[in-house]
Amino acid sequence: MYNHASSTGSAFPAVEFDAAIIGKLSQSGPRYTSYPTADRFQSEFGYGQFLEAVAGLRMRRSTRPLSLYIHIPFCDTVCYYCGCNKIVTKDHSKAATYLDYLKQEIDMQGRLFAGMGKLEQLHFGGGTPTYLSDRQMGDLMAHLHASFEFAPDQLGEYSIEIDPRTVSVERVHSLRKQGFNRISLGVQDFDPDVQKAVNRIQPEAETRAVIDAARDAGFRSISIDLIYGLPKQTMTSMEQTLDKVIAANPDRIALYNYAHLPHLFKPQRRIHEEDLPTPAVKLDLLALCIRRLCAAGYVYIGMDHFAKPDDELAVAQRQGRLQRNFQGYSTRAESELISCGVSAISAVGATYSQNEKTLEGYYEKLDEGRLPVVRGIKLENDDLLRRILIQKLMCNFELSIASIEQSFPIRFTEYFATELQKLKAFEEDGLLIVEPDWITVTPKGRLLIRNICMVFDRYLSQPRLGEAQPLRYSKTI
């Protein structure tokens, strides 16, 4: 019998690397920041359907906390590896126009959600949020505080992604005064040859100065983003980057797999494919990172996230409270997620909705006095069931079958008979254990959690017309 109480405890190995199994099962698949995934959103879902979802919350007198995502799409320069929705321009007047429209959207959302829950989570992403000047950021934060009721600093989680090349020590202190208490730094790799190959020259001293400033300013959490599989990366260069990252001692580390999809992301066409590590070396790089970070005392949270044992993410996972949303792993994904800005995705009630992806479309909708919702989806009961199931597996690496049967009017073994049959192959490979009341992912299976969750994804057996699945998703490992 498997000991479930120990599955997130310190005596239990968090993750095991098995190159043969990973090589065998590596395939394209979703990251499950939502279920259904964004490629399943429909154009029939628009502004009216979003208003209906909010009206439903108000009718039920929802007091769930609010989470707010703000998308700033601008960057000064292009990083060749990037797959984000961004606009590269040195014309900063474009940001002033964008901010005028963004404030309109914030006003509209603030009125819609007035009198509901407090805002407990804020995340600025991009692009490069620090593309905005200090004055513009201060003005935008004041606007947000006027539109929403923020929880106190000690309770709320208010985070911003920054490019260390765009901020001074003084700016870091200013961001803290403006209300941010968590900061995430894009590093990717410290090696000069790798930085040159991806057009992101970022001296280590510059990055360390920003980290030190964030500590001095009183930020509650400092996170670093790394990428493995970049051009010119070697085992030696990655070892040296990890030495520097571990010495910097961040609270969280996100280790992303570089997905080379030049047919989707134009900047990646500037990367020379012969400079990319081979699939075998890429797996070795991943194994090295996991080994070094775990040896340095970081807890493997899941997917691509590591955190110190006393970090909120690690604590939430131990207590079974970890969630997953569009920003990745979260301690507050039970909130209603309101997202503002071009291409941003909201999760309100049993719906997802995405804004216009172009500035022109975004501005046009707001000029009409409408929220810029362009597509979305209303979740059916089957979607809600599978969303919870996938969420539990992604966050806790185990699933109580009894708890699912208590929450939904189903017999698990009958409803998921096909899926349980498919899981047998994973069980034979030692990736999970299926018992009458539990499905438990083993340490060897944790790196392949996306593959396991794909078994429960009803939409993967319904390919969209004219779309080949491998083109839509990155590799699971």
Tell me, letter by letter, the H, E, C secondary structure of the chain: CCCHHHCCCCCCCCCCCCHHHHHHHCCECCCCCCCCCHHHCECCCCHHHHHHHHHHHHHCCCCCCEEEEEEECEECCCCCCCCCCCEECCCCHHHHHHHHHHHHHHHHHHHHCCCCCCEEEEEEEECCHHHCCHHHHHHHHHHHHHHCCECCCCCCEEEEEECHHHCCHHHHHHHHHCCCCEEEEEEECCCHHHHHHCCCCCCHHHHHHHHHHHHHHCCCEEEEEEEECCCCCCHHHHHHHHHHHHHHCCCEEEEEECCCCCCCCHHHHHCCHHHCCCHHHHHHHHHHHHHHHHHCCCEEEECCEEECCCCHHHHHHHCCCCEEECCEEECCCCCEEEEECCCCEEEECCEEEEECCCHHHHHHHHHCCCCCEEEEEECCHHHHHHHHHHHHHHHHCEEEHHHHHHHCCCCHHHHCHHHHHHHHHHHHCCCEEECCCEEEECCCCHHHHHHHHHCCCHHHHCCCCCCCHHHHCCECC
Q: Is 83 annotated as a binding residue?
A: yes
Q: What is the CATH number of the domain that holds 307?
A: 3.80.30.20
Q: Is 241 annotated as a binding residue?
A: no
Q: Show which of 289, 310, 340 is a domain's final residue.
A: 340
Q: Is 225 annotated as a binding residue?
A: yes
Q: Is 82 annotated as a binding residue?
A: yes
Report if residue 56 sits inside a domain. yes
The predicted-structure confidence for 238-272, as pLDDT tens digits, reads as follows 999 999 999 999 999 999 989 888 888 888 999 99
For residues 164 and 236, membership in a common domain is answered with yes
Q: Is 158 annotated as a binding residue?
A: no
Report if residue 363 sits inside a domain. no
Cis peptide before 36 (omega within 30 of 0): yes
pLDDT-wise least confident of 169-178, 421-430, 459-468 = 459-468
Q: Is 8 annotated as a binding residue?
A: no
Report if residue 297 sits inside a domain. yes
Q: Is 289 annotated as a binding residue?
A: no
For residues 384 and 432, membership in a common domain is answered with yes
For residues 408 and 278, membership in a common domain is answered with no
CB neighbour list of residue 338: distance below 8 Å, 6 or more residues apart: 66, 67, 68, 69, 109, 113, 346, 348
Average pLDDT in the 106-119 region? Answer: 94
Q: Show which of 340, 370, 393 is a domain's final residue.
A: 340
Give the model's pLDDT for residue 9: 40
For residues 207 and 305, membership in a common domain is answered with yes
For residues 321 and 442, membership in a common domain is answered with no
Q: Is 84 annotated as a binding residue?
A: no
Give the Cα separation of 440 and 130 in Å (integer).
Answer: 42
Q: Is 2 annotated as a binding residue?
A: no
pLDDT-wise least confident of 43-57, 270-284, 318-332 = 318-332
Q: Is 258 annotated as a binding residue?
A: no
Report if residue 358 sits inside a domain. no
The predicted-structure confidence for 445-476, as pLDDT tens digits, reads as follows 998 999 999 999 999 987 654 444 444 676 76
Report if residue 372 sits inside a domain. no
Give the model's pLDDT for residue 10: 40
Report if residue 473 sits inside a domain. no
Q: How confident is the model at residue 122 (pLDDT cuts 50, 70, 90)?
A: very high
Q: Is 200 annotated as a binding residue?
A: yes
Domain count, the chain: 2
User: pTM of the full predicted structure?
Assistant: 0.91
For residues 26 and 97, membership in a common domain is answered with no
For residues 327 and 398, membership in a common domain is answered with no
For residues 8 and 74, membership in a common domain is answered with no
pLDDT(212) > 70:
yes
For residues 23 and 50, membership in a common domain is answered with no
Give the Cα separation of 40 and 382 in Å (integer).
Answer: 15
Q: Is 126 annotated as a binding residue?
A: yes
Q: What is the CATH number of the domain that holds 426?
A: 1.10.10.920
Average pLDDT in the 83-100 region? Answer: 90
Give the model's pLDDT for residue 321: 83
Domain of 305, in residue numbers: 38-340
Q: Is 61 annotated as a binding residue?
A: no
